């Protein structure tokens, strides 16, 4: 169905056409009419379905009668507040609002942490009608009295389930207490667990429930595959998959920030163009890493769950779970980066013995089994029994003497197969290596690994592949 059928303003239709869209998505068709009718909304839709436009367009339409070309800040109070869990999502939502409202005299802005607050204060003092914010930075502005929320008419909680997971609910409650009691509330979430239903009952008034995908269901456009692999050989397998399958763009998930740094260093040494994105990097570094990934300057973006939440990457072909998430619902959020807007995608998980319980939880949540793929022979390191029999030396070979008292020469073994591109010899047993102390690649901008101990042994964490139980 076309956007014209939704009764949107000509200025909005013109902006939509500028972005190349002609047909509304299911979430837009279901959300826009009741929002325009001033109903509260509980929207549950898979990421990449056009959820942002589903609330941005009707908000712009409802605020359009109050638009003003006056430069006076008093003529541009905050009327719509959009709260998101991450900086990246906040920036993308505000970019969409600005794009759709380009032909209207409405002002929008975004505030999030990790950057200088002074430029944000300057913009806010100039007046904005639509503000997109992360909870922590919004409260910073409240404390500095640089933001006034007393005239907010519309509240949007985007990615509400993630805000719940990240512990933002106390901040959200403090923000709610600052808003007018009479307002329209829109809550959107990629999943719809029972905790979100409880939260919706506290905030929303007689909401219209919109559920495009079935509960906790990944998109049907994504194939789910897995390899059973030893933890110490995951990186070897990942490099092999990237090169053998010519992965030009792959988002790789790990659980911890330090593991994102370590894996990025190792991939760069393997000849893979990679960079990392996590909460310890500055906002400028995170935005640059995302831009490099989108533009193809790097092929692999290694990310933690928090940093990757809300990333909008069009036609991303591969998502790799280098480590499975502790929470099964996070698997849905991860693979939601691919299979978006009608494009197909592949979700590949590398599963070691310690992750079987997590795998069972994921398969129960998504109500389907991940396809088990055979481990490539070059990665498995296994040899056939017949080959071992031909080349195995007799146990007593060293005790037999040749005529001149010399021991028998060791049986001649076939030379190992040629290594794959990137310098790997998969015929040899894999042994994790620590990073050397040369400067890290510019693509990563990340810290160095610990040196060897005096005994020459590698630290235990390195031998275990950096696995830990602390969540990123």
Over the stretch 95-104, which tens digit does the pLDDT of each residue have? 999 999 999 9
Q: Report the number of secondary-structure helices (H) and strands (E) in the chain.
A: 18, 14
Answer yes or no: is pLDDT of 391 > 50.
no
* Nearest-5° Cα angle at 281, 278 to 283: 100
Beta bridge partners of 189: 44
Report the percent of the chain where pLDDT is more than 70: 75
**What pTM does this model have?**
0.61
Distance between CA atoms of residues 144 and 126, nearest Å: 16
Residue 472 has a pLDDT of 40
Q: How confident is the model at residue 220 (pLDDT cuts 50, 70, 90)?
A: low
Distance between CA atoms of residues 322 and 325, nearest Å: 9
Beta strands in 139-213 (DSSP E): 154-157, 184-189, 208-211
Beta bridge partners of 361: none
The per-residue pLDDT for range 266-288, each reduced to its tens digit, is: 999 999 999 999 878 887 888 89
Distance between CA atoms of residues 197 and 204, nearest Å: 10
Residue 404 has a pLDDT of 42
Give Cα 443 to chain centroid, integer Å.
19
Give me the phi and psi of 110, to 5 degrees please.
-135, 140
- Please compute the mean of the pLDDT values over residues 310-325 and round it to a whole number: 84
- Please compute the mean of the pLDDT values over residues 60-78 and round it to a whole number: 93
Distance between CA atoms of residues 314 and 296, nearest Å: 12
Distance between CA atoms of residues 109 and 134, nearest Å: 12
Closest by Cα among 157, 208, 210, 209 to 179: 157
Contact 324, 330 (CB under 8 A): no
What does the CA dihedral 46, 50, 51, 53 come to, rounded to 10 degrees?
180
Distance between CA atoms of residues 350 and 230, nearest Å: 9
Other Cβ atoms within 10 Å of 351 Cβ, number: 21
Q: Which residues of 253-282 are buried (b: 16+ CB within 10 A; e: fewer)?
A: bbbbbbbbbbbbbbbbbbebbbbbbbebbe
Q: Which residues of 91-104 are buried (b: 16+ CB within 10 A; e: fewer)?
A: bbbbebbbebbebb
Answer yes or no: is pLDDT of 174 > 90.
yes
Average pLDDT score, the chain:
79
- Reading phi first (left if > 0) and then psi (alpha if -120 to 50, else beta), residue 124 is in alpha
Closest by Cα among 266, 262, 263, 243 to 252: 263
Other Cβ atoms within 10 Å of 3 Cβ, number: 20
What are the C-alpha distances in Å from 218 to residues 2, 30, 307, 385?
Answer: 26, 20, 20, 42
Q: What domains can be seen in the chain, in order of their start residue?
A: 3-211 (3.40.50.300), 222-379 (3.40.50.300)
Parallel, antiparallel or unpaired: strands 318-321 and 250-253: parallel
H-helix or E-strand containing 178? Answer: none
Of 128-132, 159-163, 296-300, 453-457, the range with the highest mean pLDDT is: 128-132
* 145 vs 334: which has the higher pLDDT: 145
Residue 336 has a pLDDT of 76
Parallel, antiparallel or unpaired: strands 345-351 and 274-277: unpaired
Residues 6+ apart with CB under 8 A from 162: 85, 86, 190, 309, 310, 333
DSSP 279-337: TTS-HHHHHHHHHHHHHTS-SEEEE-HHHHTT---TT--EEEESS--SSHHHHHHHHTT
């Amino acid at each position: 169905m076309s956007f014209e059928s939704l009764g949107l303003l000509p200025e909005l239709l013109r902006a939509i056409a500028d972005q190349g869209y002609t047909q509304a998505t299911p979430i837009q068709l279901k959300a826009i009419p009741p929002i325009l009718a001033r109903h509260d909304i509980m929207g549950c839709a898979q990421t990449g379905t056009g959820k942002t436009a589903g609330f941005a367009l009707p908000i712009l339409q409802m605020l359009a009668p109050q638009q003003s070309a006056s430069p006076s800040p008093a003529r541009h109070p905050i009327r719509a507040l959009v709260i998101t869990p991450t900086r990246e999502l906040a920036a993308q939502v505000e970019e969409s609002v600005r794009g759709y409202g380009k032909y209207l005299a409405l002002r929008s802005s975004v505030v999030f942490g990790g950057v200088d607050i002074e430029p944000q204060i300057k913009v806010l003092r100039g007046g904005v009608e639509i503000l997109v914010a992360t909870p922590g930075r919004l409260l910073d502005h409240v404390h500095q009295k640089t933001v006034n929320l007393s005239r907010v008419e519309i509240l949007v909680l985007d990615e509400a389930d993630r805000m719940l997971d990240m512990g933002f609910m106390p901040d959200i409650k403090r923000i709610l207490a600052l808003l007018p009691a009479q307002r329209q509330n829109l809550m959107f979430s990629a999943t719809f667990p029972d905790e979100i239903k409880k939260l919706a009952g506290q905030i929303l008034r007689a909401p219209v429930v919109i559920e495009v995908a079935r509960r906790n269901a990944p998109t049907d456009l994504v194939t789910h595959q897995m390899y059973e692999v030893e933890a110490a050989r995951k990186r070897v397998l990942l490099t092999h998959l990237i090169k053998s399958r010519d992965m030009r763009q792959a988002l790789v998930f790990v659980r911890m920030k330090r593991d994102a740094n370590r894996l990025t260093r190792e991939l760069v040494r393997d000849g893979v163009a990679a960079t990392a994105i996590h909460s310890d990097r500055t906002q400028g570094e995170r935005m640059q890493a995302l831009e490099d990934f989108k533009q193809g300057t790097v092929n692999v973006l290694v990310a933690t769950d928090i940093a990757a939440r809300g990333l909008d990457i069009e036609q991303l072909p591969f998502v790799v779970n280098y480590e499975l998430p502790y929470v099964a619902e996070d698997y849905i959020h991860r693979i939601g980066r691919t299979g978006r807007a009608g494009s197909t995608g592949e979700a590949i998980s590398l599963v070691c013995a310690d992750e079987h319980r997590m795998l069972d939880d994921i398969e129960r949540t998504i109500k389907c089994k991940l396809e088990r793929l055979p481990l490539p022979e070059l990665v498995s390191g296994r040899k056939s029994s017949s080959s071992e029999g031909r080349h195995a030396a007799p146990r007593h070979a060293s005790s037999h003497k040749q005529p001149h008292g010399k021991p028998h020469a060791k049986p001649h073994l076939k030379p190992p197969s040629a290594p794959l591109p990137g310098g790997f010899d998969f015929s040899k047993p894999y042994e994790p290596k620590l990073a050397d102390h040369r400067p890290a690649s510019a693509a990563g901008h990340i810290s160095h690994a610990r040196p060897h101990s005096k005994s020459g042994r590698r630290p235990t964490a390195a031998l275990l592949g950096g696995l830990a139980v602390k969540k990123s």
